[in-house]
Structure 1
């Protein structure tokens, strides 16, 4: 299920007008998708399979609120299509928390303060 979610979601991301250009820096999609499967396995199943620094990889991209909103829109749509409702809800909650964390960190690095915007969204 994680593999299907990651593959379908990032296929959409790559074709998206806003997010596609951001992800165009990925050189090896097979390798990147494998890393993303490990990441989501660690986040949702606490498998410990992912060993990396996702914040460090994303900070140089200068992402803004619209990026996080679109990422979540696509992720939530895909999770609801791929996963049974309880699993979709878990993935979506984790994704919202990740988006808030990344957005707040990006703002801090840019010298701004940002409050979480996605966790409370229903």
Structure 2
């Protein structure tokens, strides 16, 4: 079995087990980012960096296809893109809150659980990476916080 055939088999098994489809991913991504764009905590972070939302949404659909279905559609470096952002634990908590709400509303339970598990891992990984980029090694359970001026506490 080739690598491509193996990837296709893995994707098919995940789709069968969870019910996730590319159409569901697109609906979730668009529904989630509609919430983000209205959110008082997250919208300013995104608005400062994204002027054309269509390419971003397309890229996020490819990202979630790769994360949820193991399709390999996404070819990017999320940590590099997120490292300079002025975010901390509160932003990741809000991101998860909105993502989980969108998944709960738009996906059947097995798909929701699959997406949410991965979203939680992604948020934790990005938070650890951003903290590390600031020279901080977080202890288990410790969160990355900035003060009101954006400086690391």
Please, what TM-score do these two structures have when normalized by structure 2? 0.74
Q: 1:30–1:102: structure 2 CA closer, same or farther, 3 Å change rule?
A: same
CA distance in 2, matches of 1:70, 1:62: 14
Provide the C-alpha distance between the structure 1 equivalents of 2:60 and 2:41, rounded to a whole number of angstroms: 20
- Alignment partner for residue 106 of structure 1, among 126, 130, 144? 130
Please give the root-mean-square deviation of Cα atoms over the aligned residues, in Å: 1.1
Match of 1:14 in 2: 37
Q: How many residues align?
A: 117
Structure 1 segments of 4 or more deviating over 6 A?
none
Q: How does 1:1-80 map to 2 (within 5 A)?
A: 1-24=24-47, 25-80=49-104
Q: 3-state SS of the aligned residue for 1:60?
A: coil
CA 116–79 in structure 1, closer or farther in 2 if over 3 Å, else same: farther
C-alpha separation in 2, matches of 1:11 and 1:116: 33
CA shift, 1:63, in A, is: 1.3
Gaps of 5+ in 1: 118-122
Task: Flag structure 2 segments of 5+ consecutive residues without an equivalent.
Answer: 1-23, 142-153
Does 2:114 match 1:90?
Answer: yes
Q: Secondary structure, in 3 states, of the residue corresponding to 1:61?
A: coil
Q: Supply the distance in 2 between the matched residues of 1:8 and 1:107 (Cα, whole angstroms).
A: 29
C-alpha displacement of 1:116: 6.1
